[in-house]
Homo-oligomer: A and B are copies of this chain.
Amino acid sequence: MTVTTKGAYEPLTESTAIKLAKELNFFKEGSLLSCHEIGDGNLNLVFHIVDENNTGIIIKQALPYAKVVGESWPLTLHRATIEGNYLKKAASLVPNLVPKVYYTNEALAITIMEDLSHLEIARSGFIKGKDYPLLSLHIGEYLAKTLFFTSDFGLNQQEKKKLQQLFVNPELCKITEDLVFTDPFFDSETNDFEPELLSSIEDLWADQTLKREVAKLKLKFLTNGEALLHGDLHTGSIFANEIDTKVIDPEFAFFGPIGFDIGQFFANILFQSLTRTSENRKMVTNHLHQAWDSFVKTFTQLWNNHSVEAFTKTPGYIEHVFSETFKSAIGFAGCEIIRRTIGLSHVADLDSIFPDEERIFIKQKALSLGKKLILKAEEIQSTTDIEKLLEQVLKEKD
């Protein structure tokens, strides 16, 4: 055992994780602890340690590399610090919607936090047909509060620039720049798709209008430091049950365009919607409406009561902000849908569909939906329009 809180970086094992928890006095002297590594092991180690009463903690440790489809590349440990800083900031804004952080250690790249094992990853629950009726209400509130209070509307503009420096995150941003906004739109080595999709994908690669719109969205992602984003807000980053919602895994956090977090959430609701039969779809698409309505309602309250920007009193300004945010969210959702269908990193909502024929069919629909969201972002004015577009795509003959 060499890992100590004062030591240099070394990946934890189940037994050194327990020793660390003891060293930090997370458990009473003499507790009987057990530990399981429960991460997917691609980017991070996640240790779940519990005592004999099943009271536990989570120790998350960043690995100095990323493993994706067999490949391995180096990846900054600094993302653990970004994650810790984000969770601390979020705890001050939406304490009920993030896990409590108990301890961070930059050198070891670890964050020790609240055990959320009474909750389930929303994506897994959705795939099993569950619903989380409050999920999108909470996510709307989460988005409004985290985004408003870190934007120039809700945070002193000097302070915002200082906070922004804590979240400069080039390596993780590059993953998004490449995998969300670039590779899927070119014949790139990282792409990963069923051969049956090739003809549709070639159409997509040849569609210069689509690519121009993606270029604009990528530019927005690269340049618009509007607010502190979670940066990876898909349903796999959300723990939930009937009443509770907790957002995890903010290692992609950085100052970017407000519409991005919203668009990622929309896209992941849409994946699940695509897999549902028409009778069960409404339950899922409802989260689109509820998330946006909740976001708008909370953001408007904050704008009216907590603004630090003189122009927020100007009639029509908030409507402009919502309209631009919604438009870009639609475009970002389109990119996310395309990349999770044909890019390096997939979603289980689609990949778990069998038989193959049905999966290919749904993925074709996903591609069509993603493309239309990007191309029609100006026309789509409401979440009802998104739902209409979804229904239209599902009815299309191939």
Contact = CB atoms under 8 A, between A and B. Distances in A.
Contacts of A170: 157-158, 161-162
Contact of A215 (B168, B169, B182, B317): B317
Instruction: Classify chain A's interface size.
Output: 35 or more
B315 A212 contact: yes
Contacts of A320: 212, 215-216
A223 B222 contact: no
Contact of A316 (B152, B208, B226): B208
Nearest to A311: B215
Nearest to A312: B215
A243 interface: no
Given A223-B226, A224-B223, A215 B161 contact: no
Interface stretch (A171-179, A194-202, A335-343): A171-179
Contact of A174 (B157, B164, B214, B314): B157
A314 B157 contact: no
How many of these chains are in the complex? 2
A310 interface: yes
A371 to B, nearest CB: 15
Contact of A310 (B157, B186, B219, B321): B186
A311 B218 contact: yes
Interface string A213-235: 01110110011111000000000
Interface of A: 152, 157-158, 161-162, 164-165, 168-171, 173-174, 177, 182, 186, 208-209, 211-212, 214-216, 218-219, 222-226, 310-311, 314-317, 320-321
8 A-B pairs with the lowest CB-CB distances in the bound complex, closest first: A215-B311, A161-B170, A158-B170, A152-B222, A211-B314, A223-B226, A215-B317, A212-B316
5 contacts: A157-B174, A157-B177, A161-B168, A212-B315, A219-B321
